[in-house]
C-alpha cells in the first residue's frame, strides 16, 4: 500500500513539474543547443559586419549587435564560421545552428526555409568603380551621336536645304552667274552658300535681289541660333559624360565588364536584368579584380562597398549612383524557433535606448 502511494506521489510530482514548465513557457532546447546549453551562432566573414582577426577574435557591426542582444536575453553562445550565406541558411534550416547573423538579406525565397527576425539594417545594391575609370572613346562617340545632338543636326540639315532652295528660286533669274538656272547645279551652289553662311556668317557670293537679301539676313540670324544650340547640346553632353564617368547608374552597365559575388542578391538582380557579369566567391576577390583593372564595376551590397571605399579602398575606388533594389538584413533562425520573439523584443529595446545607433556610428560613422 505504501509502495503504491509512493509511486503515485512520484508520478504526480513529475506531472506537476512538466505542467509548471509549460505554464512558465520554457522553450525546449534546439538540437544544436541541447548538448552544451550554448547557442550555436553561425557567421561568415563580411566586412564590416563580421570581421575575424588573425587571433580568432570576432568583431564588426553584426557581432556587436548580437552581443548586445545576447546580453539583453542572458544568452550563452559560440560563434561558428562558414564561408557563404547559403551555408549559414542550410545550418539553421537543418538544425545545425540556432542563429545565423552577418548581412543576410530577407527574401521570400529564404523565408520558405527559415524564419527571420524583424529587419535590423536597411541596405540595397550599389555600384563601385575605380577612381581613374576614364572616359572611353566609345563613350564620347555615344554622346556625340546622342538623340538630342542628332535632332539638332537634322534640324540644321533641313533648314539649310529649305533655305538653299528658296535662295535659288529667288536668285536664279537675276544672278544666274552665282546661282545657275539648272536645278542641280543651282542647288549645289545654293547649298554651298547656305552652309558657308551658317559657319562663317557670310558666303563667297551674296544674293543681289532685295528679296534675296532679306532671306539672307533672316538666314544669318537663324544660323546664329542653330550654331548656339548645336554648341550647347554638344558641350552639355560631353561635360555630363566627363562628370559622370563611363558608368553612373544601372543603365550604364550593359556592355561593361561587371563583377559580383556568387549566390548574392546582386547576382540575382543582374541576371534578372540580363546584364552579363562575372561571379567570384568573395567580395574581396571582386575588390582585387576591380583594382587590377580586370573589370570596370562591382555591383554588391551598398554597406560593404561604402565601408571599403572609405577604408582600404580610399583614393582607389569610388561609389557611383544611388542605392537601388532596396533590401533589409535580418537574423535567420530555424522555423518556429522560440527565440524569434525574444530577439525581436531585444532589438526594439536596443533601438529605443540608443545602443543601436552607437553601434552603427562606430562602423559607419553617420546616422542610417
Name the residue with higher pLDDT: 154 or 267: 267
Residue reference for cell 572611353: 136
Q: Tell me: cis bond preceding 48? Omega within 30 of 0 counts.
A: yes
**pTM metric for this prediction:** 0.53
Looking at every residue in the chain, the average pLDDT score rounds to 82
Could you list the beta-strand ranges (E) of the chain: 39-43, 51-52, 58-59, 77-81, 99-105, 115-116, 121-130, 258-261, 278-280, 297-301, 317-333
Cα radius of gyration rounded to whole Å, the chain: 36
Name the residue with higher pLDDT: 140 or 88: 88
Residue 116 has pLDDT above 60, yes or no: yes
Q: Are 186 and 180 in contact (CB under 8 A)?
A: yes
Instruction: Provide the pLDDT for residue 240.
Output: 55
Instruction: Provide the pLDDT for residue 35.
Output: 53
Indicate if the alpha-carbon torsion angle 286, 291, 294, 300 is positive or negative. positive
Confidence of residue 217 (pLDDT cuts 50, 70, 90): confident
Query: Mapping DSSP to helix (H, G, I), strand (E, B) and coil, where does residue 112 land?
Result: coil
Please state, in angstroms and as integers, the Cα–Cα distance from residue 21 to each residue in 16, 159, 232, following that order. 9, 91, 79
Instruction: Provide the pLDDT for residue 311.
Output: 85
Confidence of residue 62 (pLDDT cuts 50, 70, 90): very high
Confidence of residue 89 (pLDDT cuts 50, 70, 90): very high
Please state, in angstroms and as integers, the Cα–Cα distance from residue 246 to each residue in 35, 117, 252, 292, following that order. 56, 40, 7, 17
Name the residue with higher pLDDT: 318 or 236: 318
Map out the domains of the chain with their CATH numbers: 29-123+328-364 (3.40.190.10), 138-244 (1.10.287.70), 247-326 (3.40.190.10)
Confidence of residue 12 (pLDDT cuts 50, 70, 90): very low
Residue 42 has pLDDT above 90, yes or no: yes
pLDDT tens by residue, 182-215: 888 888 888 888 888 776 655 566 777 888 778 8
pLDDT tens by residue, 122-154: 888 999 999 876 555 555 566 666 677 788 788
**Cell reading at 35:** 548538448
Amino acid at each position: 500500500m505504501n509502495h503504491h502511494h509512493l509511486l503515485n506521489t512520484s508520478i504526480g510530482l513529475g506531472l506537476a513539474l512538466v505542467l509548471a514548465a509549460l505554464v512558465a513557457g520554457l522553450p525546449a532546447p534546439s538540437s544544436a543547443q541541447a548538448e552544451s546549453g550554448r547557442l550555436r551562432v553561425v557567421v561568415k566573414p563580411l566586412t564590416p559586419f563580421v570581421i575575424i582577426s588573425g587571433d580568432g577574435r570576432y568583431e564588426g557591426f553584426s557581432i556587436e549587435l548580437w552581443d548586445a542582444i545576447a546580453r539583453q536575453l542572458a544568452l550563452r553562445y559560440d560563434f561558428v564560421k562558414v564561408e557563404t550565406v547559403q551555408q549559414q541558411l542550410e545550418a539553421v534550416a537543418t538544425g545545425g545552428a540556432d542563429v545565423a547573423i552577418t548581412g543576410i538579406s530577407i527574401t521570400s525565397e529564404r523565408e520558405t526555409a527559415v524564419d527571420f527576425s524583424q529587419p535590423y539594417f536597411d541596405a540595397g545594391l550599389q555600384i563601385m568603380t575605380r577612381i581613374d575609370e576614364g572616359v572611353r572613346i566609345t563613350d564620347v562617340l555615344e554622346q556625340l551621336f546622342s538623340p538630342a545632338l542628332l535632332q539638332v543636326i537634322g534640324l540644321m540639315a533641313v533648314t539649310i536645304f529649305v533655305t538653299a532652295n528658296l535662295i535659288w528660286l529667288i536668285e536664279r533669274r537675276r544672278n544666274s552667274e552665282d546661282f545657275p538656272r539648272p536645278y542641280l547645279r543651282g542647288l549645289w551652289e545654293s547649298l554651298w552658300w547656305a552652309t558657308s553662311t551658317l559657319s562663317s556668317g557670310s558666303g563667297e557670293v551674296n544674293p543681289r535681289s532685295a528679296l534675296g537679301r532679306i532671306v539672307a539676313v533672316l538666314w544669318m540670324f537663324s544660323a546664329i541660333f542653330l550654331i548656339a544650340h548645336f554648341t550647347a547640346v554638344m558641350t552639355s553632353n560631353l561635360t555630363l559624360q566627363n562628370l559622370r564617368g563611363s558608368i553612373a547608374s544601372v543603365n550604364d552597365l550593359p556592355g561593361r565588364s561587371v563583377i559580383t559575388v556568387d549566390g548574392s542578391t546582386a547576382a540575382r538582380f543582374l541576371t534578372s536584368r540580363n546584364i552579363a557579369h562575372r561571379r567570384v566567391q568573395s567580395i574581396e576577390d571582386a575588390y582585387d579584380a576591380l583594382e587590377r583593372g580586370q573589370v570596370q564595376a562591382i555591383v554588391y551590397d551598398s554597406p560593404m562597398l561604402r565601408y571599403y571605399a572609405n577604408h582600404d579602398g580610399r583614393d582607389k575606388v569610388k561609389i557611383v549612383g544611388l542605392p537601388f533594389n532596396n533590401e533589409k538584413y535580418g537574423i535567420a533562425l530555424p522555423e518556429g524557433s522560440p527565440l524569434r520573439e525574444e530577439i525581436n523584443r531585444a532589438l526594439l529595446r536596443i533601438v529605443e535606448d540608443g545602443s543601436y545607433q552607437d553601434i552603427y556610428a562606430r562602423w559607419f560613422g553617420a546616422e542610417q
